[in-house]
């Protein structure tokens, strides 16, 4: 589930769901190199050891990893972030980045995903950090009243990219411009801005209520809007006179429910929303409409999403991790535990996911398991 700013002054409370009691559980699976034919009919050949796992804003022609993990072992502690809470996790290169916050300030930690050792000096933020990944680079939105957007290339020190913005959160790039969501002058609305990566002039692209993710495809900016419960889009250069929405095809049950998480895979966006029967949707580019792929009969909600070439991984807040086979939408719960949240991270045949440990309320862990 994506982090969003609130209208209040406290950055500690700017989450969709209360984050207290949540931690990070890391489920690590194993995979081998093989060929796979995903549902769009495109055959891809990917070495499972290569860093080709899907990221929330991967380019439309990106190849997804064919290593599809299935965690079956008991998690053990990899890293303890106590007393801080965790906002979200992200991966770039061979590093797992963990956003944390404690009161009105935060930090981003860079850790080795196999040993749990910190591999860089933490980035300190004045508000709660929100991590996004674009082109294998981590971008940090420091959600404070005059927060900065930071760029963190794996192996380098983080650098301030855009200073002094009102509660910046989700970030993406198209290789030339950086795009981000920030609080508008009429909260809780967000406005999406853009600027040359090496420039200074800022241009408004569109309005988007509580932006959850941002994607730029073929000159169009797509913004899943939390409050609207739909994917909005406009020209990425800011010249659109109005904002369009994808809408829903007949058969969609959770129409208009808040969108929790969205990923881009080639020519489609996929998202999960907060309808009380967990749902997964496909939104064909460039204009939709969104089509319901699967809906659980159980009362719960999906809060996070990731994908390999063969499977979707959806985080269910009550049941754990659902592995959804892309060829026929068969759903299998592979990690049964309550309290999971936010997007899982897939990397080199491994699965990382945010969750809670009810036996250790108030403490925050990074944990892992191996198939």
pLDDT, tens digit, for every residue of 191-246? 999 999 998 999 999 999 888 899 999 999 999 998 889 999 999 999 998 899 99
Q: What is the pLDDT of residue 253?
A: 77
329 Rama sector, left if φ>0, alpha if ψ -120 to 50, beta otherwise: left
- Name the percent of the chain lying above pLDDT 90: 54
Q: Beta strands 259-265 and 268-273: pairing type? A: antiparallel
pLDDT digits (tens, 9 = 90+) for 257-271: 999 999 999 899 999
Phi and psi at residue 217, to the nearest 5°: -135, 120
User: What's the full length of the chain, in residues?
Assistant: 371
Domain range 27-370, CATH class: mainly beta
- Nearest C-alpha neighbor of 215 from the set 281, 285, 152: 285
> Rounded to an integer, what distance in angstroms lies between the CA atom of residue 158 and that of residue 161?
9
Reduced to 3 states (helix: H, G, I; strand: E, B; else coil), residue 360 is helix
Report the chain's C-alpha Rg in angstroms: 19
Confidence of residue 139 (pLDDT cuts 50, 70, 90): very high
Please give the residue that has the higher pLDDT: either 17 or 300. 300
pLDDT digits (tens, 9 = 90+) for 300-359: 999 999 999 999 999 998 888 899 999 999 999 988 887 777 888 888 778 887 767 555
How is the chain split into domains, by residue range? 27-370
> Rounded to an integer, what distance in angstroms lies between the CA atom of residue 268 and that of residue 241?
25
Q: In this structure, are residues 190 and 196 in contact, taking their beta carbons and an 8 Å threshold?
A: no
Q: What is the pLDDT of residue 93?
A: 93
Q: What is the pLDDT of residue 337?
A: 80
Q: What H or E segment, with its residue span, contains residue 183?
A: strand 177-183
Q: What is the pLDDT of residue 26?
A: 40
Would you state the structure tokens that stand for residue 15, as one six-digit string?
A: 């989450």
Phi and psi at residue 199, to the nearest 5°: -110, -170
The answer to whether residue 182 scores a pLDDT higher than 70 is yes
Average pLDDT over the chain, rounded to an integer: 80
- Nearest C-alpha neighbor of 364 from the set 77, 29, 10: 77
Q: What is the pLDDT of residue 352?
A: 82
Q: In this structure, are residues 128 and 146 in contact, taking their beta carbons and an 8 Å threshold?
A: no
Please give the residue that has the higher pLDDT: either 152 or 349. 152
Peptide bond into 289 cis (omega under 30): yes
> Rounded to an integer, what distance in angstroms lies between the CA atom of residue 355 and that of residue 78?
14
Q: Give the predicted TM-score (pTM) of the model.
A: 0.83
Confidence of residue 370 (pLDDT cuts 50, 70, 90): low
pLDDT digits (tens, 9 = 90+) for 23-76: 344 433 333 222 222 233 322 222 333 333 344 444 444 457 667 887 777 766
Q: Beta strands 279-284 and 268-273: pairing type? A: antiparallel
């Amino acid at each position: 589930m994506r982090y969003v700013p609130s209208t209040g002054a406290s950055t500690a409370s700017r989450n969709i769901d209360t984050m207290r009691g949540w931690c990070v559980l890391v489920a690590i699976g194993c995979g081998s190199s093989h060929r796979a034919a995903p549902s769009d009919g495109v055959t891809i050949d990917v070495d499972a050891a290569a860093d080709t796992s899907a990221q929330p804003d991967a380019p439309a022609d990106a190849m997804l990893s064919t290593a599809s993990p299935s965690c079956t072992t008991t998690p053990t502690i990899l890293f303890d972030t106590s007393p801080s809470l965790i906002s979200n996790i992200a991966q770039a290169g061979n590093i797992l980045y963990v956003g944390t916050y404690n009161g009105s300030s935060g930090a981003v930690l860079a850790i080795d995903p196999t040993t749990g050792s910190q591999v860089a000096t933490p980035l300190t933020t004045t508000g709660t950090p929100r991590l996004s990944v674009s082109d294998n680079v981590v971008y940090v939105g420091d959600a404070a009243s005059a927060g900065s957007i930071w760029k963190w290339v794996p192996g380098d020190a983080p650098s301030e990219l855009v200073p002094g913005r009102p509660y910046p959160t989700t970030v993406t790039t198209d290789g030339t411009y950086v795009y981000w969501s920030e609080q508008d002058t009429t909260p809780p609305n967000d406005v999406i801005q853009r600027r040359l990566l090496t420039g200074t002039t800022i241009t408004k692209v569109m309005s988007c209520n509580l932006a959850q993710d941002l994607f730029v495809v073929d000159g169009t900016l797509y913004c899943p809007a939390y409050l609207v419960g739909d994917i909005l889009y406009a020209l990425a250069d800011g010249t659109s006179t109005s904002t369009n929405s994808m809408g829903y095809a007949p058969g969609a049950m959770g129409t208009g429910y808040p969108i929790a998480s969205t990923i881009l895979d080639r020519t489609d966006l996929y998202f999960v929303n907060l309808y009380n029967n967990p749902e997964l949707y496909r939104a064909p580019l460039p204009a939709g409409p969104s089509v319901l792929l699967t809906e659980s009969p159980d009362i719960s909600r999906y809060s996070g999403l990731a994908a390999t070439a063969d499977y979707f991984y959806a985080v269910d807040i009550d049941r754990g991790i659902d592995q959804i086979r892309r060829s026929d939408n068969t759903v299998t719960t592979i990690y049964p535990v309550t309290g999971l949240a936010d997007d899982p991270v897939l990397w080199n045949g491994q699965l990382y996911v945010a969750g809670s440990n009810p036996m250790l309320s108030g403490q925050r862990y990074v944990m892992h398991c191996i198939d």
